[in-house]
Amino acid sequence: MAKMQEKKEKKSLSGQLLGIALILMLVFSLLIGAGCSQGAVTPQNDDEAGEEAAAGAEGDEQVAEEGEFIILSTTTSTYDSGLLDFMLPAFTEKYGIEVRVVSQGTGQALETGKRGDADALLVHDRASELQLVEEGYFTDRQDVMYNDFIILGPAGDPAAIKGMESATEAFTKIAEEEEIFISRGDDSGTNRRELSIWDKTGVNERGEWYKSVGQGMGDTLRMAGELQGYTMSDRGTYLSLKDTLDLEILVEGDPNLFNQYGIMAVSPEMHSHVKYEQAMKLIDFFMSPEGQDMIASFKIGDDTLFFPGKGVE
């Protein structure tokens, strides 16, 4: 009797499993049929297809405009000075294009652009910029503005360089006295110019008094102030921070300290994904009478930080 009962239970269980399997197969078949019905395409003539594609493209364009942005790779001096905070909102309001700023040393900014990781650049190493335009990485470069570099130090001026007309002589004196000198050390335009001046001094060995910190201009200035050392800065960043620094301008006016800025677009032939047309709108804005007037009007107190256009031939 027990064996017969066990067989009945097994048979009953098998029947239940078979029933469940049949139900699942039926449901699956219905889902497949529904999916095929929903995915069916009604034949269109060429005109209908073209109209639908055009409508879709127009919708995509509207979405792109709503969140449109470009990436500007720029030197820390334009960022730290506050110039971009002053100018970019006016550009965005006019064109509806957001500008996302990547603040780096000029050397890093140029590499960012060469990789195609930016759409436009605003930097200050004219010789390198022109070379890279020649090589095809960048295009439509313009001399957008200029200022100058200055040599700063503590009011006590232990190296006695104040008033010197030659940056090379001032650097030589700092080295002779082994006074603290803070270098950005970040391959920025400022750092490149500083190193070119050191090359002219013939001082090839710089000891512990020379500190290469790998920082932006603002942090370098603060460190120089804290250590009461010397440094070289663009005038714009110094003027924007001078009220917080214990540093004075000691040497200025040497032609070797002239500082030209350039603005340019990343070449779409080198990187097809870049937003060239939008980048050109930014360049045109900076070079327009409106943009140039804004550059000239940007001041800290009575001090002008940048001058529009090209400074010297």
Domain parsing of the chain, residue ranges:
67-147+260-308, 149-257
What pLDDT score was predicted for residue 66?
57
Q: In whole angstroms, what separates CA 128 from the centre of its chain?
A: 17
**How far apart are alpha carbons 48 and 58 in whole angstroms?**
15
Q: Are 249 and 221 in contact (CB under 8 A)?
A: no
What pLDDT score was predicted for residue 46?
33
Cα angle 288, 294, 296 (rounded to 5 degrees) comes to: 105
Residue 148, classed as helix, strand or coil, is strand
Q: Which fold has domain 67-147+260-308?
A: D-Maltodextrin-Binding Protein; domain 2 (3.40.190)
**N residues, the chain:** 313
Taking residue 77's Cβ as centre, other Cβ atoms within 10 Å add up to 33
Regions of the chain where pLDDT drops below 70: 1-66, 313
Strands (DSSP E) along the chain, which ranges?
69-75, 98-104, 120-123, 138-153, 181-183, 210-212, 230-234, 248-251, 258-266, 299-300, 303-304, 307-308
> Which DSSP category does 93 fall into?
H
Q: Which fold has domain 149-257?
A: D-Maltodextrin-Binding Protein; domain 2 (3.40.190)
State which amino acid sits at residue 236. G
Residue 11, classed as helix, strand or coil, is helix
What pLDDT score was predicted for residue 114?
97
Q: Do domains 67-147+260-308 and 149-257 have the same CATH topology?
A: yes
Q: Which residues pair with 264 in a beta bridge?
A: 121
What pLDDT score was predicted for residue 313?
61
**How far apart are alpha carbons 277 and 265 in whole angstroms?**
9
pTM of the entire predicted model? 0.74
DSSP characters over 188-219: -HHHHHHHHHHHHHT-----TTEEE----HHH
